[in-house]
C-alpha cells in the first residue's frame, strides 16, 4: 500500500519502476522522441553548419561568413532585423491593447476571438498578399475609401512593397499572435488585486504603474521577442509581397539555394542561414532569461 | 468574469475589426469581378473548382495534415505523459528541445533538410509530415503540457493500474480521454500548420495546396484571390464553429476510467 498518491514527484506508488534505476534507464521511454528529433532536426542542422564552413572545393573556410556581412547581405540583415523589430513592437502594443479589451468580454466571445486569432496568426503568403493588394493597393478599396474622405495613402512615398508596407502586412499576423499568447497572462490578473489596491487608497495610475505593468511586463517582453522571431523568419509572405524589391534575409537565402543564381553560392546560402539562426538564438536566449526571472509565465 | 468595457476598449476593438475585416471584404469584392471589372459574378470561383489541381493538391495537403496529426499523437502524447509521471528530471531538457524549432528559421531548416536527407526519404511528399511535426513541436508540447498539468495524473494512473489495467490501456482509455481538449488543441495546431505551410514545401520542390495557390496566382490573379478568400474564410468558419459549439460536443471528461 502506498501513501504517496497524488504527488507528481518521482518514485510514487506503482509507477516507481518508471523512475527507479540509472539515468540511462529513465531515458528509455524518451528514446522515440529523442531519436525522432535527432534525425529530423539535429541531423539537418549539422549539415547546414558543416556546409557553411566549406568552400566550393570542400575545404574548411570562413570566407562564407565574411561574405555574409558585406554588401547586399549585410544590408539585408539590417533591413530584416529592423523590419522584424518594428513589426514586433507594433504587433505587441496593438495586440496587448486588443487583448486587454477582449478579456473583459464573455467566455463565448473570448473563445471565438481566440479561434479567430489562431487562424489569422497563421495566414501568410499569397493569400495575405492579395488581401492587402485588394485593400491597400493603389486600386484597393480601402485606399479609395480613404481618398474619398481626404486621406491619400499614396501622396507620399508609401507603397505596399516598401518597408512600411511590409510592416503593415505583417501586422495582420503579428497582432493576432500577440492576442493569442498574451491573453492568458492578462486573464491571470485577479480582480481582487484591483479591489485591494482600491481599498488601500491606490488610484488608477498607481494600480497601473505598481501592479499591472510590473506583473505583465515579463510576459509582454517575452511575447514581443517571439513576434520578432516570427517576423524574422517569415518567408512565404515576403516572397509573395516583394518580388525582390526589398532585400530580406529569407528571400536572399531562398534565391541563393533555389538554383536561380550561380551554383557556387550554395555555401554562402548556408552561412547566411547559420547567421539567421544566430540572430534568433540571441533573441531566444533573452526570451529564456526573461522566463527564468519572471514568475508570471505567458 | 465579465467586466464593463470602457469607451477606449470599444474603440480598440472597432479599429481592430476594421483592420482585419476590410482587406478580407476587399479581396472578396475583387474575387467577384468578371469581364475585366465591369460586372460581378461567381465565375472566378467556378474556374478554381474546375481545375484538376484543386482537388489533387487539396488532397495532398489533407493527407499531409492527417499524417502529421497522427505522428504528433503517437510521438508526443506518450513522451509528455512520461515527463509528468516518472521522467520529471528530463522535463527541462525536453522543454528546451521543443523550443529549438522557434530558433531555427524555417528557411534554414529547409536548407539543411535538402542536403542532409537521403534520396529515399526525399522521394515522397510525406517527408513533409515529419518536418511539420518538428516545426509544430513548440506549440504541441505546450498544449499537452498545460493539459496534463491541470489533472491529477498520478492518482488516475495509480487507480487504473491498481484496477489491473496495463500501461497501454491506461494511456488509451484513461489519460487521453481525460486530456481530450488538450489533445484536440495539439492536433488542430498541427493540422492548421500542415494545411498552410509554404516554405518547406516550395524549397523541397513539392506541390501542396499553398504552393498551388502561389502557382496559379502567376497568370490568374482574380482566381487566386477567389481561392485565397475561400481558404481563409473556410478555415476561419471551421475553427469558429469548433470554438463556440455547445459544450456537449466539446466534452473532455469521461465517466468510466477503466472497465
How large is the angle between the packed helices A266-293 and A43-52, nearest 10 degrees?
120
Mention every residue, 6+ apart, whose C-beta is less than 8 A from residue A221: A290
User: What pLDDT sits at residue A261?
Assistant: 53
Q: Do the beta carbons of residue B200 and residue B129 sit within 8 Å?
A: no
Residues of B in contact with A141 (CB under 8 A): 22, 25-26, 29
| Residue B120 contacts A, CB cutoff 8 Å | no
Q: Tell whether B38 is covered by a domain.
A: no
d(CA A172, CA A201): 41
Neighbouring CB atoms inside 10 A of A240's CB total 22
Which grid cell is B59? 488532397
Residue B255 has a pLDDT of 36
| CB pair distance less than 8 Å for B239 and A124 | no
Look at residue B161 and tell me if it is in a domain: yes
pLDDT in tens, A49-72: 988 888 877 788 888 888 888 888
The dihedral sign for the CA sequence A219, A220, A221, A225: positive
B39 to chain A nearest CA, in Å? 16
Round to whole Å and give the CA distance between A261 and A253: 11
To test the contact with chain B by mutation, choose from A195, A236, A297, A298 the residue with the greatest count of B C-beta atoms within 10 A, namely A236
CB proximity under 8 Å: B 194-233 to A:
196, 198-199, 202-203, 210, 213-214, 217, 221, 224-225, 227-229, 231-232
Please report whether residue B33 resides in a domain. no
Quote the pTM value: 0.83
Please check whether residue B156 touches A, CB under 8 A: no
Contact B27/A at CB under 8 A: yes
Domain contains B198: yes
**Cβ partners under 8 Å of residue A60, min gap 6:** A53, A54
Task: Give the span between the Cα atoms of A84 and B27, in whole angstroms.
Answer: 26
Is the residue at B6 inside a domain?
no
Residue that wins the pLDDT comparison between A4 and A282: A282
Nearest CA in chain B to A275: B108
A97 pLDDT tier (thresholds 50, 70, 90):
very high
Spatial separation of the C-alpha atoms in residues B132 and B190, rounded to whole Å: 7
How is chain A split into domains, by residue range? Answer: 85-248+281-293
Residue B196: inside a domain: yes
Report DSSP letters for A225-250, one per residue: HHHHHHHHT--HHHHHHHTTSS--HH
Contact between A8 and B153 using a beta-carbon 8 Å cutoff: yes
Q: In chain A, what residues touch B240 (CB-CB under 8 Å)?
A: 112, 115-116
Distance between CA A54 and CA A222 in Å, rounded? 36
**What is the torsion angle, in degrees rounded to the nearest 10, for the CA atoms of residue B153, residue B158, residue B160 and residue B163?**
-170
Complex prediction ipTM: 0.84
Local confidence pLDDT in tens for the 259 residues of chain B: 456 788 888 999 999 999 999 999 999 998 898 877 777 888 888 888 888 888 899 999 999 999 999 999 999 999 999 999 877 788 889 988 998 888 898 999 998 898 888 888 888 899 999 999 999 998 899 889 888 888 898 899 999 999 999 888 999 999 988 888 888 888 888 888 888 889 999 989 899 999 998 888 888 888 888 988 988 888 888 888 877 775 544 444 433 333 3
Grid coordinates given for B72: 504528433
Residue of B147, B135, B97, B175 lying closest to A34 (CA atoms): B97
Question: What's the N-to-C CA distance of chain A in angstroms?
Answer: 40
Query: How many A/B residue pairs have CB atoms within 8 Å?
Result: 272
Q: Is residue B59 part of a domain?
A: yes
Is B67:B124 a contact under the CB 8 Å cutoff? Answer: no
As assigned by CATH, the class of the A85-248+281-293 domain is mainly alpha
Residues in chain B closer than 8 A to A114 (CB atoms) = 243
Number of domains in chain B: 1
Test A116 with B239 for CB contact under 8 angstroms.
Answer: yes
Cα separations in angstroms, A295 against A142, A287, B35: 43, 14, 60
Which of A13, A19, A273 comes nearest B158 by C-beta? A13
Cα–Cα nearest to B208, from B56, B50, B48, B61: B61
CB contact under 8 A, A141 and B29: yes
Number of helices (H), then strands (E), belonging to chain B: the values are 14, 2
What is d(CA A5, CA B156) in angstroms, rounded to the nearest whole number?
Answer: 9
Amino acid at each position: 500500500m502506498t501513501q504517496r498518491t497524488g504527488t507528481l514527484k518521482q518514485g510514487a506508488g506503482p509507477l516507481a519502476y518508471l523512475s527507479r534505476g540509472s539515468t540511462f534507464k529513465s531515458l528509455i521511454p524518451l528514446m522515440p522522441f529523442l531519436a525522432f528529433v535527432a534525425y529530423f532536426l539535429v541531423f539537418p542542422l549539422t549539415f547546414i553548419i558543416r556546409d557553411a564552413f566549406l568552400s566550393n572545393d570542400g575545404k574548411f573556410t570562413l570566407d562564407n561568413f565574411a561574405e555574409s556581412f558585406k554588401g547586399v547581405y549585410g544590408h539585408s540583415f539590417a533591413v530584416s532585423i529592423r523590419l522584424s523589430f518594428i513589426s514586433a513592437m507594433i504587433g505587441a502594443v496593438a495586440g496587448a491593447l486588443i487583448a486587454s479589451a477582449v478579456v473583459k468580454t464573455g467566455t463565448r466571445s473570448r473563445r471565438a476571438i481566440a479561434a479567430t486569432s489562431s487562424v489569422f496568426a497563421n495566414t501568410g503568403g499569397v493569400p495575405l498578399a492579395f488581401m492587402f493588394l485588394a485593400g491597400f493597393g493603389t486600386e484597393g478599396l480601402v485606399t479609395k475609401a480613404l481618398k474619398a474622405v481626404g486621406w491619400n495613402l499614396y501622396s507620399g512615398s508609401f507603397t505596399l512593397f516598401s518597408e512600411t508596407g511590409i510592416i503593415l502586412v505583417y501586422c495582420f499576423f503579428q497582432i493576432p499572435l500577440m492576442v493569442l499568447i498574451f491573453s492568458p497572462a492578462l486573464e491571470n490578473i485577479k480582480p481582487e488585486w484591483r479591489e485591494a489596491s482600491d481599498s488601500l487608497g491606490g488610484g488608477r495610475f498607481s494600480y497601473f504603474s505598481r501592479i499591472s505593468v510590473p506583473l505583465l511586463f515579463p510576459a509582454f517582453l517575452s511575447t514581443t521577442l517571439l513576434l520578432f522571431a516570427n517576423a524574422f523568419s517569415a518567408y512565404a509572405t515576403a516572397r509573395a509581397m516583394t518580388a525582390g524589391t526589398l532585400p530580406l534575409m529569407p528571400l536572399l537565402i531562398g534565391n541563393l539555394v533555389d538554383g536561380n543564381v550561380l551554383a557556387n553560392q550554395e555555401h554562402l546560402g548556408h552561412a547566411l542561414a547559420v547567421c539567421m539562426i544566430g540572430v534568433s538564438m540571441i533573441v531566444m536566449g533573452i526570451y529564456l532569461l526573461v522566463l527564468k526571472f519572471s514568475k508570471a509565465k505567458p | 468574469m465579465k467586466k464593463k468595457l470602457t469607451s477606449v476598449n470599444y474603440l480598440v476593438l472597432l479599429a481592430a475589426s476594421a483592420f482585419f475585416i476590410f482587406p478580407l471584404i476587399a479581396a472578396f469584392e475583387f474575387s467577384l469581378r468578371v469581364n475585366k471589372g465591369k460586372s460581378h459574378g461567381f465565375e472566378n470561383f467556378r474556374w478554381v473548382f474546375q481545375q484538376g489541381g484543386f482537388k489533387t493538391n487539396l488532397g495532398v495537403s489533407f493527407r499531409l495534415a492527417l499524417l502529421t496529426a497522427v505522428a504528433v499523437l503517437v510521438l508526443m502524447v506518450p513522451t509528455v505523459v512520461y515527463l509528468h509521471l516518472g521522467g520529471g528530471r528530463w522535463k527541462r531538457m525536453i522543454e528546451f528541445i521543443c523550443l529549438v524549432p522557434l530558433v531555427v528559421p524555417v528557411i534554414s531548416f529547409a536548407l539543411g533538410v535538402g542536403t542532409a536527407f537521403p534520396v529515399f526519404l526525399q522521394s515522397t511528399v510525406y517527408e513533409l509530415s515529419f518536418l511539420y511535426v518538428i516545426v509544430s513541436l513548440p506549440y504541441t508540447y505546450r498544449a499537452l503540457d498545460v493539459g496534463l498539468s491541470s489533472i491529477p495524473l498520478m492518482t488516475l494512473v495509480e487507480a487504473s493500474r491498481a484496477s489491473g489495467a496495463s500501461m497501454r490501456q491506461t494511456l488509451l482509455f484513461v489519460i487521453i480521454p481525460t486530456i481530450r481538449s488538450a489533445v484536440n488543441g495539439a492536433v488542430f495546431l498541427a493540422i492548421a500548420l500542415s494545411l498552410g505551410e509554404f516554405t518547406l514545401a516550395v524549397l523541397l520542390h513539392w506541390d501542396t495546396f499553398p504552393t498551388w495557390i502561389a502557382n496559379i496566382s502567376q497568370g490568374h490573379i482574380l482566381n487566386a484571390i477567389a481561392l485565397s478568400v475561400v481558404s481563409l474564410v473556410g478555415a476561419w468558419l471551421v475553427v469558429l464553429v469548433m470554438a463556440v459549439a455547445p459544450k456537449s460536443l466539446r466534452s473532455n471528461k469521461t465517466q468510466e476510467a477503466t472497465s
